[in-house]
Structure 1
Amino acid sequence: MRRILAIALILFGSISVKAQEDYSASLIPKELLPYASAVMRNYEKTVEIRNKETVVYHIKEAITVLNRNGAEAAHLGLWYNKGSKIKSIKGMIYDEFNKPISKISSGNFEDQAYIDDYSLFEDNRVKHYNPSVTTYPYTVVYEYETQSNQSLNITPWYPVEESGVAVEKSVYKVICPADESLRYNENNFKGQVETGTTDKGLKTYTWRAANIKAYRDEPYSPIMSNYITSVRVVPQHFVYGGIPGSFTNWEELGKWNYEKLLVDRQKLSLATVEQMKELTANITDPKLKAKAIYEYMQHKTRYVSIQIGIGGYQPFPATDVDQLGYGDCKGLVNYTQALLKAVGINSWYCVVEAGNSKISMKKDFASMDQGNHVILCLPFKNDTTWLECTNQKIPFGYLGSFTDDRTVLACTPEGGRLLHTPKYTTEQNIESRTADVTIAADGTLTGKMLTTFSGSQYNNRREYVDEPFREQAKAVQRIYPINNMEVKSYQLKDEPKYQPEMKEAVQFEAPEYGMTEDDKLIFIVNPTNRAGTLRELVNRTQPVYINRGYTDIDKIVYTIPEGYEPDKKLLSLSIKKDFGSYSANVSLNGNQLVYTRKFQLKDGTYSKDEYSELVDFYQSAEEADHYKMVLVKKK
């Protein structure tokens, strides 16, 4: 969905009616058409901070959809709940010549509860509309007004929010009382903010952007928020959920979090406190005590999303989680903190932007909307340990790719502190496989494989751990490119140590894996891990960004049929680049054919000019991974 104005960030706009503008498709500047499937003709967002508990958003937007690939850009979704309301919505659809096709009213929007698979309590709803137009181009104009009862989070401005959409004009205007201090952060904004005063003495801040070309979807691009234009605005004084506050930096924001949202939420019953003391009575090492308590929490609780009241930021009391056995990320972290506190172990509640992309808090600009998740930090001396409290299966101290290698906000009694979570390096993110197989004269491949996953790749098979054998076998058949694969046995062994490993053991048979032709036996020597290819790009605009490095290692020992020998030069390839390396080799030792492969990609940012080398790198790896071994009967 193109722009879903998230409830946690507040709500949305309205509009004033003006004379009809001409949105004829022919008037779109020609320079905006390359790579564009839609063009934002006009976007006007006005944010009125009337007081600390009333923020009104006025929004008017007109978007021309050029082809079916841009249809999603015309989809509008507005979230609302008890703390925010949609005051009005209307719109109009025009054909390519600016002739009205149909009106849009609130009644055309589908209104439904927002419920996901893991939420137990929610009061969120969403109104959304998707034009049912199939003749291109067409233009949709929306006008809407919304109101939020909090001023902690002001929805930011993104003139461009996705690839394939160009922008003809976009304006962001913020109005606030004369006695309010407004901080703002500009990212890749090339203009100059316009400041002024209204007739009523209110302060105004206005940002404008125009004629922004569409970004092309380019493989291995940097995180989009790092290179698109955006503006964040934060009032110094605010009210959230009826709780007032003020901050200008991370220290003050963290202190407000701790004092207003966290204090007095960690009380436990005397019985639970005594239980924690008994659990750790025979453990002297504080880290091992923490491990025992963490595993207790994992077995006792489960994760649910709680989105009611001020549940977006304030955790449920630890006593509630203790009694009910469930909580969201905030509740489970707060509960774990309370359990640790019961045995004298200090920990910090940390706000993080979670997800596969590594997005850090902006060090020079504090705002509450930069995080979407909470984790726990245990500041042991020279051994800081991090805990993900929403996953009941991962090992103590393991974060994985969801929250690794990024700056987070720790909320402590002394105030907020910016910390950095551990990084899983290219050398740690391992998938290492050994296989002993036999290829028969009729092409049947049989054997067993043992694969070890570690680092960020530890989770590669975790979802199949508790699945029945039938489902595991289906998954293995999807994962491995072995035609006609029959899984005879399958085992996943989790080794949840501080540097955890997942071990996969597979025994299989694959009739007709190899092809027979006259006296020849032909088969792809790499049956397990094959690289894909990257599409070529002309005039790439973005640098090459590899978000997370990894290393794959394979060694497969074939026993070949008696009386057969290779009929071609054996594979031998080695490639080394700044961004990675690849090697593949085949050797013969008696009736054993040994295949080795190593594929390594290194995280980092590289010149856009290196993209063509990356394409060639993948192409060479793909070709080598499909190298066909030809065996012939000896004369």
Structure 2
Amino acid sequence: MRIFSLLILLLPALVVKAQDDYAVNLIPKDLLPYASAVIRNQSVTTEVKDAANTIYHIKKAVTILNKNGDDIAEIVLFYDKSRSIKSIKGATYDEFGKLASKFTDRNFDDAAATDGFSLYQDSRVKHYLPSIATYPYTIEYEVEMRFKQTLVLPDWLPIPEPSVAVQKSSYTFACKPDFKVNFKEINMPVKMTTGATKEGLTTYNWQVDNLKAYRAEPYSPVAETYYSRVKVAPKNFIYSGISGSSSNWDDLGSWIYSNLLKGRRELLPSTKEEIKQLTANIADPKLKAKKIYEYMQGKTRYISVQIGIGGFQPYPASEVDRLNYGDCKGLVNYTQALLDAANVPSWYCMVEAGANKKVSMMRDFATMDQGNHIILCLPFKNDTTYLECTSQKIPFGFLSDFTDDRTVLACTPEGGKLMHTPKYSAAQNLQTRNAQFSIADNGDLSGNMVTIYKGTQYDNPEELVGEQFTEQVKTIRKMYNHITNLDVEKFNLKQDKLEMPVSTENIKLNAADFASADNGKLYFSLNPLNRSRSIKDVRNRVNPVYINRGYTDEDEITYTLPKGYHPDIEPWNVSLNQPFGKYRASVSIADGKLVYKRSLEIIDGTYGKDMYDKLVEFYQKVADNDAYTVSLIKN
């Protein structure tokens, strides 16, 4: 009886102790700076039972300190035929570590993993975000999943994103001793240790403790270059019942070619004959390819089709030909089939696409998850050409900023080859503008301007293409929002679809009260067409300065001034020079005209963190000069 009573007395203390584990006041104070969330404890295990059976288990507790950390609390689980969710359970706690609620898989929303433009998808997603409006709080959950493959296994990121600190996080990869696997440790603060389970499995282990949160810093390199990460790649794998090797890119590219692509490029004889007739009078292989590419663009449209060996295999070319649509894989494969009919060789290329960051394949580590898009390579001698097959508008041989300047995997009959897509320089990414404006004595503005866009700036006016005039005017007013009361009389956009394409924009416009009147003077903005903004100052910066893509803007505006007025300024010149950019601006006055010239060149690259202060100062000076106001006074 005394023993039973003692247990009764001890039980509340044990419960309180368990609850106190997630009390917010137990978080080390030095983990709080810059943190919106703190991972209190995380344990991730990947256990490969055999090449077609992997168990992925995660147990995680994370404290959400403020609203900015809510996205860390959300649990998102994708599943399909090759990935199944075995179990989900979890709970939430208040700031004192007291249990607030429990949840299971019944509390998750379950939806098709659609993206708004997909026609066929066999992936689904379960997601859950606790409805808690009081901060801080803690969410703890445990998930187990089964993968019927070993081609793509999850990375381990101790810190998944900025503003997240870590008290403790561990990762274990377990497999049979004869299962060979490659690891790539990226910026890891600890070294791997090995061990064994009582069942005889070999374990590879990492554990980190007390990692401070990264602060999101403007102009930082892509996260893949400085976040801590462990990547996993079995040397031999099974995917959808098909075995293969990913020991290197040559092997992986060979597997893709032989197992995902082979036999998918068959076309009806009638389609082959149509292509032969289309190119019958063209001798140059590149001109043949251009003709076929434009045929494909005119015939098809892009719709995502995420089925077929986990979304990695393209739809058969004959089906794309019949249906007139496909995703990036299907459209590339279809274009290859059309080129085959004209005896023009081409290679299917996997790439990590994205305009805001350039991420290349790791040359020393081959994995399928390093690409999210497919493009086509035409390996002409001394003239390698790349094609983006999902756009009906993009010019032949032009990649724009979506897949430029990065290492890609070409899948060829001889195996995988790493190649690099073209880089568009700051000088090539050129915008030039010439405006001829007149200001009336009542402040009204009228005139014409011609803007030429080249390189990756070719796409700047893309939103205007094919729209009704009324819609174009709305867009132009947003583009040139520093001209109040803007009215567009005429507009024309011409696109020269060269490999280095050119867009030419002509606008005839007027604007009432462009110059405001006050005490007999007229005031107007010297540069209403192309202004830069200042950027955020960051003290104690950690990351180097990274400029993703360079460009050059050149503007010239000639103002014919109202009769009887002259500008209350003297001619001036401004010149700024830094390793990352150059800025020139000048004003000249003669014969009743004021001529304003502006040139801004931004040079892509990586610069030392100490250069950020100079970058802030540079953009502040540019913004100040761009916002210059001119006053006109009567003679």
Per the normalisation by structure 1, the TM-score is 0.96
Cα deviation digits, residues 281-335 of structure 1 (max 9, x gap): 1111111000000000111111111112315211111111111111111111111
Deviates more, 1:208-217 or 1:424-433: 208-217
Q: Name the CA distance, whole Å, in 1 between partners of 2:440 and 2:41.
A: 67
Residue 549 of structure 1 corresponds to 550
Counterpart in the other structure of 2:483: 482
C-alpha displacement at 1:21, in angstroms? 7.0
Structure 1 Cα separation of the partners of residues 542 and 564 of structure 2: 56
Q: 2:581 — aligned with what?
A: 580
Matched residue, 2:208: 209
The equivalences for 1:232-251 within 5 A come to: 232-251=231-250
Identity %: 53
Q: Per-residue deviation at 1:231?
A: 0.5
Question: Who is 2:147 aligned against?
Answer: 148
Structure 1: how far apart are the matches of 2:191 and 2:113? Answer: 39
For 1:268, give the aligned amino acid.
L
**How far off is 1:505 after superposition?**
1.4
Contact 1:491–1:505 (8 Å) recurs in 2: yes
CA distance in 2, matches of 1:591, 1:311: 69
RMSD, aligned CA? 1.2
Secondary structure of the structure 1 residue equivalent to 2:566: strand
Deviations 1:87-131 (A, max 9, x none): 111111111110011111212111112222210001221111111
State the match for 1:158 in structure 2.
157
Taking the aligned partners of 1:32 and 1:450, their CA distance within structure 2 comes to 54
1:387-398 equivalences under 5 Å are 387-398=387-398
Alignment of 1:197-346 (within 5 A): 197-346=196-345
Partner AA of 2:405 in structure 1: D
Contact 1:571 / 1:627 at 8 angstroms: preserved in 2?
A: no
Q: Which amino acid aligns with 1:223?
A: V
What's the counterpart of residue 498 of structure 2? 497
**SS state of the match for residue 401, structure 1?**
coil
Q: Distance in 1 between matches of 2:446 and 2:54?
A: 67
Change (3 A) 1:21 1:120: farther
Question: Quick one: structure 1 residues 311 and 452, their matched pair in 2 at CA, closer, same or farther if it must change by over 3 Å?
Answer: farther
Change (3 A) 1:597 1:510: same
- The 1-side partners of 2:450 and 2:569 are apart by 29
Q: Deviations over 1:502-560 (max 9, x none)?
A: 11111211111111112211111101000001111110000000010011110111111
Q: Once the two structures are superposed, what CA deviation does each residue of 1:425-455 show, in whole Å capped at 9, x if it has no partner?
A: 0000111111111111111111111111111
Distance (Å, rounded) in 1 between the aligned partners of 2:447 and 2:157: 54
Q: C-alpha offsets along residues 361-385 of structure 1, whole Å, 9 cap, x if unaligned?
A: 0001111111111111101111111
Q: Secondary structure at the match of 1:623?
A: helix
- Contact 1:163–1:216 at 8 Å: present in 2 too? yes
| d(CA) in 2 for partners of 1:235, 1:149 | 14
User: Which residue of the partner structure matches residue 74 of structure 1?
Assistant: 73
The alpha carbon displacement at 1:49 in A equals 1.0
SS in 2 for 1:398: coil
Letter of the 1:572 partner, please give it. Answer: N
Distance across 2 between alignment mates of 1:59 and 1:322: 44
Whether contact under 8 Å (1:241, 1:309) holds in the other structure is: no
- Correspondence 1:522 to 2:523: yes
1:456 aligned residue: 456
Matches within 5 A, 1:171-190: 171-190=170-189
Distance in 2 separating the partners of 1:506 and 1:551: 21
Question: Could you say which residue in structure 1 is the equivalent of 2:422?
Answer: 422
Tell me by how many angstroms 1:569 deviates.
2.9
In structure 2, give the amino acid aligned to 1:491: N
- Report the Cα distance in structure 2 between the residues aligned to 1:239 and 1:92, rounded to whole angstroms: 36
State the alpha-carbon separation in 1 of the partners of residues 627 and 216 from structure 2. Answer: 28
Q: Which moved more, 1:113-122 or 1:535-544?
A: 113-122
Distance 1:226 1:127, change over 3 A: same
Counterpart Cα distance in 2 of 1:117 and 1:469:
27
Alpha-carbon distance in 2 for matches of 1:21, 1:412: 58
- Distance in 2 (CA, whole Å) between partners of 1:242 and 1:494 is 48
Shift of 1:59: 0.5
User: What's the CA shift for 1:82?
Assistant: 2.2
1:406 is aligned to 406
- In structure 2, the CA distance between the partners of 1:144 and 1:156, relative to structure 1 (3 Å rule), is same
**Whole-angstrom CA distance in 2 between matches of 1:424 and 1:440:** 42
User: What CA distance in whole angstroms lies between the structure 1 residues aligned with 2:146 and 2:113?
Assistant: 19
Helix, strand or coil for the counterpart of 1:211?
strand
Letter in 2 for 1:554: D
Paired position in structure 2 for 1:613: 614
